[in-house]
Amino acid sequence: MTWSFLTPESHLLVTMSVVVLLATLALVVPTIVALRRRTSTDALAWADQVRRDPAAAWAVDRVLRAVDASCAAANVLFPGAVRITIGTTVRIDVASPTIAPPAPWTATPDGRTWSAPTWALQAVPLAGGAPVEFATVVSFGTDRDDTVLVDLRRVGGILALRGEPAAREALLVRLVEQLQTAPWAVGTTVLGVGTGTRTGTAVSVRDAIAAVTADATPGLLVVSRVPSGEDGRELARLLERPGGRWACIAVAPHPLARWTIEARRDGTHVSDVLGTLQWAGLGRSVPVDPAAGADTTQRDDVPAEA
């Protein structure tokens, strides 16, 4: 057929072509956008290629040692830290309210938070190595330009992870690697129950409870799920003892957990106690083979949520 503006058939052909083109665009464009958006927001696809900056660990170590040194110089007993936020200012949510901190710290009126400019802490003379006080401190991620750390033993019980298994695994491995490599965690024991060897020495439930009971060294216990029955209740009770040196992370939510954190594929985790933080910026502390690609499948030892 010869196309012409004067024939109705030509008009129909043009109309049909335009309709087909618009329908194709309506299908293809959203698909491309969705794929690109998924690639950019799915942190599991790229986060393992981020290496942990040695300078970041050095900076945290410097702050922790300055906390210890400032208290020692003023003969002040450090009350312990639940959360430490490091940015241009260092803020410590202390375990016990203290309204008379040593210089250069200032306290809020209720004594629950200490703060000091980072530059002032850099001027604090240091003595000795990393204090044992911070042997279970790990970075949980970033909030804008600030790094947020938590002393796991100060949680005062079990910390549970929830969310998609691959995201929980990604957050867990970053927390464990810090205690295995950080200068302030030298001597911290890491044990795993039902989690394989990637989370420290594999032990039985009873051996794990015995280690927490003895409390001989600072330690982290990682369990695939909170033990059932009396074992779970005993473990929770032991972790809630004042002054205990052990912490516990469960890779599945449980009613006995003191804190529950939801890990997400987009590189964030969300909780009532910490708000929303970026875990994807926590670089891996051990080499990862780039050729292996991102493993976003569920591991057999990462339990699904109940």
For 72-113, the pLDDT digits (tens) are 999 999 999 999 999 999 999 999 999 899 999 999 999 999
Of the chain, the percentage scoring pLDDT greater than 70 comes to 80
Query: Are 145 and 201 found together in one domain?
Result: no
CB 256 within 8 A of CB 158: yes
Q: Choose one of 94, 116, 149: the last residue of a domain.
A: 149
Q: Is residue 296 situated within a structural domain?
A: no
For 206, counting Cβ atoms within 10 Å of its Cβ (0-12 exposed, 13-18 middle, 19+ buried), the class is exposed
What is the rounded average pLDDT of the residues 154-171? 96
Please tell me the predicted confidence (pLDDT) of residue 162: 97
Please tell me the predicted confidence (pLDDT) of residue 35: 39
Query: Are 122 and 198 found together in one domain?
Result: no
Band the pLDDT of 26: cuts 50, 70, 90: low
What is the rounded average pLDDT of the residues 149-159? 97
Return mean pLDDT, the chain. Answer: 85
Q: What is the pTM of this model?
A: 0.81
Tell whether the model's pLDDT for residue 5 goes beyond 50. Answer: no
Q: Is residue 189 situated within a structural domain?
A: yes
Please tell me the predicted confidence (pLDDT) of residue 304: 63
Query: Are 189 and 170 found together in one domain?
Result: yes
What is the rounded average pLDDT of the residues 41-51? 83
H or E stretch covering 181: helix 165-181
Query: Are 77 and 33 found together in one domain?
Result: no
Q: Which domain holds residue 35?
A: 8-41
Tell whether the model's pLDDT for residue 32 goes beyond 50. Answer: no
Band the pLDDT of 216: cuts 50, 70, 90: very high
Count of positions (residues) in the chain: 306
What's the token pair of residue 39? 């690639």
Only one residue has tokens 């009350």, namely: 79
Q: How do residues 261-287 score in pLDDT, each as one tens digit?
A: 999 999 999 999 999 999 998 988 764
Query: Are 141 and 184 found together in one domain?
Result: no
For 75, counting Cβ atoms within 10 Å of its Cβ (0-12 exposed, 13-18 middle, 19+ buried), the class is exposed
Query: Are 190 and 257 found together in one domain?
Result: yes
Total of domains in the chain:
3
H or E stretch covering 113: strand 113-117
Please tell me the predicted confidence (pLDDT) of residue 34: 42
Please tell me the predicted confidence (pLDDT) of residue 297: 42
Q: Is residue 217 situated within a structural domain?
A: yes
